[in-house]
């Protein structure tokens, strides 16, 4: 009879240590490992010493003892930085693993790396799960949104562990489920982060526009009223707190550099859109804004611009309508990219279930996500939902007004403009890309298809 532990966690950084506490609190017997060299020396001892008296977690600094402490099949969760370190740790573990053991990568790994690891480990008789985890350290400690993909057999064995570690939706069901084959879990987490990029940029642009004629407290109050009207989200709620945070030096926000950074998942999402032929213009605008914010060379250029127009306020309801319009477009693009990947990679992803997983424990949880998750009918894209189309159509004039006023004030609103132009192009009966096809045929003899659809052949014209 097995007397070992149910779960082994490698990596006692912020996320790994909090997941270990989460697991122990939920009755999962846990072993933890961390290397004991350099700046990490003493990490395991310090973690074990910091445990509450009622927590029983076994700590190790050597693989053989760590592995020996686990039940068979061994379930090991890697919480190490994405990239080559994951491959290094897997190679180090292989001599200690047996057929049927389960390796879970819980970091923000690139989905194509997870595809490769899944295939390689399957050949060795091991189950690999690439699991996207959202919610930060707070979610890791008290319940996160989990997106496991890869080996379904491995998932079925570890399903109870995922269930205990995850947050719960409004019906008390765990915010996790098997996402799909290979790297599907990490792909969906990547797009979660892409949507997150767009959401953060839209909130930042809204704040920056309102700050032209409102103070921080007033903006925070307006955002609070939006939350009370059914438009709340985790990101909007923390923004309210950030805007009002003061100390003896004044508002904390005023002392923070405007040079933004990221960990790469936003760029991966935009690249995936390009590779799969799916438009993610709001994510791209958000990424471009971060890149521009950190480009000291460009930003130091002295460019003379015309004086701004006089400031006059736009009604708060119009700004809210514009904000909701842009958020819907951001979500529409994100889910469409997931659907495109599902089709191209044969993953059979369930968009409605993914939205349910994102209703709690993750960074993009919101009332909008709740509405998407608990709509009665199944949907393959947001435009399947009549209320989404109706809302976009009815809010179009509000976002147009906001963009026009921001232009008059020489104030950048890149994400808003991207959302607005996407919807206009989507509803335009004739796009000017027929001219582009003519240009390509003129200089490169690339050919074009006929607008009447009379055949599917490529045609050429003797332009010169």
Active site residues: 189, 196
Q: At what angle do helices 234-244 and 216-226 cross, to 10 degrees?
A: 160
Q: Which residue has the tokens 């010169």?
A: 464
φ and ψ at residue 431, rounded to 5 degrees: -95, 155
Token pair for 108: 């923000």
Q: For residues 219 and 211, is the Cβ–Cβ distance under 8 A?
A: yes
Alpha helices in 227-347 (DSSP H): 234-244, 265-276, 281-293, 296-299, 316-345
Residue 262's contacts (CB-CB under 8 Å, 6 or more residues apart) are 197, 287, 290
Residue 77: name the closest of 189, 182, 142, 154 by CA. Answer: 154
- Tell me how far CA of residue 431 lies from CA of 277, 424, 456, in angstroms: 17, 10, 19
Give CA 454 to chain center in angstroms.
42
φ and ψ at residue 33, rounded to 5 degrees: -135, 140
Reduced to 3 states (helix: H, G, I; strand: E, B; else coil), residue 280 is: coil
Q: For residues 338 and 191, is the Cβ–Cβ distance under 8 A?
A: yes
Residue 134: name the closest of 359, 286, 294, 327 by CA. Answer: 359
Triad 171, 176, 177: Cα angle to 5°: 110
Omega prior to 451 cis, within 30 of 0: no
Residue 356: name the closest of 188, 110, 129 by CA. Answer: 188
Q: CA torsion, points 354, 356, 361, 364, in degrees to nearest 10?
A: 70
């Amino acid at each position: 009879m097995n007397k070992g532990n149910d779960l082994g966690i490698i990596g006692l950084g912020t996320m790994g240590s909090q997941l270990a506490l989460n697991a122990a609190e939920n009755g999962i017997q846990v072993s933890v490992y961390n290397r004991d060299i350099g700046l990490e020396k003493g990490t395991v001892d310090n973690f074990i010493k910091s445990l509450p008296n009622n927590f029983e977690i076994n700590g190790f600094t050597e693989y053989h003892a760590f592995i020996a402490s686990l039940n068979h099949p061994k379930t090991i969760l890697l919480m190490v930085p994405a990239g080559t370190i994951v491959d290094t740790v897997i190679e180090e573990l292989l001599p200690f693993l047996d057929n049927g053991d389960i390796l879970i990568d819980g970091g923000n790994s690139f989905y194509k790396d997870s595809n490769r690891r899944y295939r390689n480990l399957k050949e060795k008789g091991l189950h690999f799960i690439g699991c996207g985890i959202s919610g930060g350290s707070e979610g890791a400690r008290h319940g996160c949104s989990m997106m496991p993909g890869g080996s379904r057999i491995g998932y079925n064995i570890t399903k109870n562990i995922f269930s205990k570690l995850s947050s719960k939706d409004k019906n008390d069901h765990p915010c996790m489920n098997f996402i799909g084959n290979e790297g599907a879990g990490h792909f969906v987490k990547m797009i979660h982060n892409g949507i997150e990029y767009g959401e953060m940029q839209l909130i930042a642009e809204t704040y920056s526009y309102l700050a032209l004629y409102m103070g921080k407290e007033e903006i925070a109050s307006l955002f609070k009223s939006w939350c009370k009207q059914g438009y709340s989200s985790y990101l909007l709620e923390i923004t309210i707190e950030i805007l009002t945070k003061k100390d003896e030096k004044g508002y904390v926000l005023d002392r923070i550099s405007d040079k933004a950074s990221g960990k790469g998942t936003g760029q991966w999402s935009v690249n995936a859109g390009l590779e799969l032929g799916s438009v993610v213009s709001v994510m791209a605008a958000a990424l471009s804004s971060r890149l521009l914010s950190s480009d000291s060379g460009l930003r130091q250029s002295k460019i003379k611009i015309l004086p701004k127009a006089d400031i006059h306020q736009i009604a708060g309801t119009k700004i809210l309508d514009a904000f909701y319009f842009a958020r819907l477009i951001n979500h529409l693009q994100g889910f469409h990219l997931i659907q495109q990947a599902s089709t191209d990679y044969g993953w059979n992803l369930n968009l409605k279930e993914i939205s349910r997983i994102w209703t709690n424990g993750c960074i993009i949880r919101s009332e909008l996500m709740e509405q998407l998750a608990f709509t009665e009918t199944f949907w393959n894209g947001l435009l399947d939902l009549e209320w989404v189309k109706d809302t976009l159509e009815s809010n179009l004039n509000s976002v147009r007004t906001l963009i026009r006023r921001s232009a008059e004030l020489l104030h950048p609103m890149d994400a808003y403009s991207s959302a607005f132009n996407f919807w206009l192009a989507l509803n335009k009966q004739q796009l000017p890309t027929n001219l582009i096809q003519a240009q390509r045929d003129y200089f490169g003899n690339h050919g074009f298809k006929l607008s009447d659809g009379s055949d599917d052949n490529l045609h050429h014209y003797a332009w010169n």
